[in-house]
Structure 1
């Protein structure tokens, strides 16, 4: 940890780095999806669990940043801070999704050729507000709540759980919070074991909403509880070990067969309930000593949210190309590497030329007495 002069609190640099590691694994996971025939045979099989990791990390850092500030901060100010952090890149993700939309027309997305420009632009504008749209408004064919930028569904649940926190959950005692976390864990485990995984949450219908709430409730409030009860230790080489553990969990092959879905569901739930809290605990307990390590963690942390919220329009294009040409991964890997590198480059460009300047401007406008540079608490999200 290092002291941030703006917040007068230690800065969890390792958690920033881990967020970036998980975000890069999400991109790799999505690049592998078009080459699989089902969840059973996908390479980098459990990349979807990064969303649950982000939720847990968010709960930990939100508690760290805000739990002791409510005597001096209003609920309205909390919402302003979260909007200033999250919303600029939501808008950018929708704009990039709109720019890329008609390049994605293929057999995989038959609705694109039938969609007039005015309708696509209307969907983009609604997406910029984060208002969820029902499956009937889908213009792609995947029934996504945010059809131009699919991963935005997790930002919707991030906003919802932040509202829960600000309006009441922040006041919960450790005992009551522990009960809430326990019940949420039970619901999550039941979902995972009966479904075979925790995949889902991106559609505005009852089954998908259930998945979304199960995926956000335990991780977020589990992270909040972890912050409140954890007694941190001095862990050496924490970033290396935590990064390896995160990669192993997300890259692990599917567990069990179609006849034994509960086995993979158990893997998912145990990863979320036990392994991810352990990783965050170890990461928060460690400290980066070398300048190179600090720079790596800062870079990974800086691009984590931009790459998560902007990469998927490129994945749509890649999916369309792979689906139309029936190209196996062993032949498509040069293009997949190019897409991966492009996603990182676009994210970094958005960060430096758009996100940071816009956030600085918003902070000056909304918080006259607050330094323009944001602190760690505004940097952690799901993504």
Structure 2
């Protein structure tokens, strides 16, 4: 079934659930990444494609939620709504990132005047989700909480939508989708994958990764293309797992581009067009609730975990219980942050 939102619009619980599944898979990918530094050995080889799936979902949901509201909503009001929805957890993620960095026994800290200034800049710019000085030596654009690189692209996508995208005809949007698909494919084939955009030397790829799926999500909603399939949440979740887990191979860049351009839209169309109820609907709601907090809050701890694996070189028998424990901590942290911080803060901000 489709539940009703406060605005009266039907809600798509399967899409919420799939967002949660993708977020959980990317967390597992990061836990594996420390243990399997060679990409071809990684069990979830393509786990970073969850980000591209998020962008597609975001385009679809933004068009669904706001396309018909522009007669009674200003651009300023739209930006306020999106900031209230996204930014409280960005702030919390940066604060957790700062605390973990200061306590991290493996993090490079030389408390000179220059380093302190760089750290302050990393905090201030991180709170604004802007690229910051590299204080960790990973060449990251967002060194206190790596995944915020994708939130910067989400903000850029929302700005482009508010200024231009909401006015575009389907014909113009088709042109943008095709051009951005070509750019995405060319980049993926050139690199052999799309698993980057978080570093300074590949910062431009972040925009390429965002542009096609977000635009395609807008277009998919406006075309009204939905697919009804039985057991859609389970089938689409398994599809994501399989797509992420397939091994890398000679034509890996072509494969990842094809998944983003052709397969992800089908999964979203199936999630939007299918029905769910009972326990499955409750599971989708839970997965959707924790999807954003678990994605944006887990990575500061991954820094410590990864450095521990690299520096201490523990046996895999030691790593497994730590990884499982961390995963459980991430789940609890996500739910606690949602209920004790994010929802109350957003409710307070909405009143203001």
Bucket of the pairwise TM-score, normalised by the shorter protein: over 0.9
Cα RMSD for the two superposed structures: 1.6
Counterpart among 339, 347, 360 of residue 326 in structure 2: 339
CA pair 288-191 structure 1, distance change in 2 beyond 3 A: same
Tell me the CA shift for residue 287 of structure 1.
Answer: 1.2
Provide the secondary structure at the position in 2 that maps to 1:2.
coil
CA pair 276-233 structure 1, distance change in 2 beyond 3 A: closer
For residues 348 and 103 of structure 2, the distance between their equivalents in structure 1, rounded to whole angstroms, comes to 33
For residues 343 and 63 of structure 1, the distance between their equivalents in structure 2, rounded to whole angstroms, comes to 30
Tell me if the contact between 2:174 and 2:219 (Cα under 8 Å) persists in the aligned partners.
yes
Query: Match of 2:223?
Result: 229
Tell me the CA shift for residue 4 of structure 1.
Answer: 1.9
Tell me if the contact between 1:104 and 1:112 (Cα under 8 Å) persists in the aligned partners.
no
Query: Match of 2:90?
Result: 90
For residues 113 and 343 of structure 1, the distance between their equivalents in structure 2, rounded to whole angstroms, comes to 29
Query: Match of 1:49?
Result: 49
Query: Match of 1:269?
Result: 257
For residues 328 and 222 of structure 1, the distance between their equivalents in structure 2, rounded to whole angstroms, comes to 44
For residues 209 and 165 of structure 1, the distance between their equivalents in structure 2, rounded to whole angstroms, comes to 21
Superposition map of 1:1-383 within 5 A:
1-106=1-106, 109=107, 111-113=108-110, 119-133=118-132, 137-204=133-200, 207-254=201-248, 256=249, 260=250, 263-290=251-278, 292-365=279-352
Tell me the CA shift for residue 232 of structure 1.
Answer: 2.4
For residues 215 and 287 of structure 1, the distance between their equivalents in structure 2, rounded to whole angstroms, comes to 30
For residues 181 and 363 of structure 1, the distance between their equivalents in structure 2, rounded to whole angstroms, comes to 34
Tell me if the contact between 1:314 and 1:343 (Cα under 8 Å) persists in the aligned partners.
no
Provide the secondary structure at the position in 1 that maps to 2:10.
strand
For residues 298 and 194 of structure 2, the distance between their equivalents in structure 1, rounded to whole angstroms, comes to 22
For residues 207 and 150 of structure 2, the distance between their equivalents in structure 1, rounded to whole angstroms, comes to 10
CA pair 308-244 structure 1, distance change in 2 beyond 3 A: same
For residues 102 and 123 of structure 2, the distance between their equivalents in structure 1, rounded to whole angstroms, comes to 13
Tell me the CA shift for residue 312 of structure 1.
Answer: 0.2
For residues 211 and 80 of structure 1, the distance between their equivalents in structure 2, rounded to whole angstroms, comes to 28
Tell me the CA shift for residue 42 of structure 1.
Answer: 1.5
Stretch moving more, 37-46 or 271-280: 37-46
Moved over 4 A (4+): 113-119
Tell me if the contact between 2:5 and 2:11 (Cα under 8 Å) persists in the aligned partners.
no
Provide the secondary structure at the position in 2 that maps to 1:9.
coil
Tell me the CA shift for residue 330 of structure 1.
Answer: 4.5
Tell me if the contact between 1:105 and 1:320 (Cα under 8 Å) persists in the aligned partners.
no
Provide the secondary structure at the position in 2 that maps to 1:10.
coil
Tell me the CA shift for residue 121 of structure 1.
Answer: 4.2
For residues 139 and 269 of structure 2, the distance between their equivalents in structure 1, rounded to whole angstroms, comes to 36
Q: Deviations over 1:287-346 (max 9, x none)?
A: 1122x1121111100100000000001111111111112135454111100011111111
TM-score w.r.t. length of structure 1: 0.88
CA pair 59-230 structure 1, distance change in 2 beyond 3 A: same
Provide the secondary structure at the position in 2 that maps to 1:67.
helix
For residues 154 and 105 of structure 1, the distance between their equivalents in structure 2, rounded to whole angstroms, comes to 27
For residues 68 and 231 of structure 1, the distance between their equivalents in structure 2, rounded to whole angstroms, comes to 18
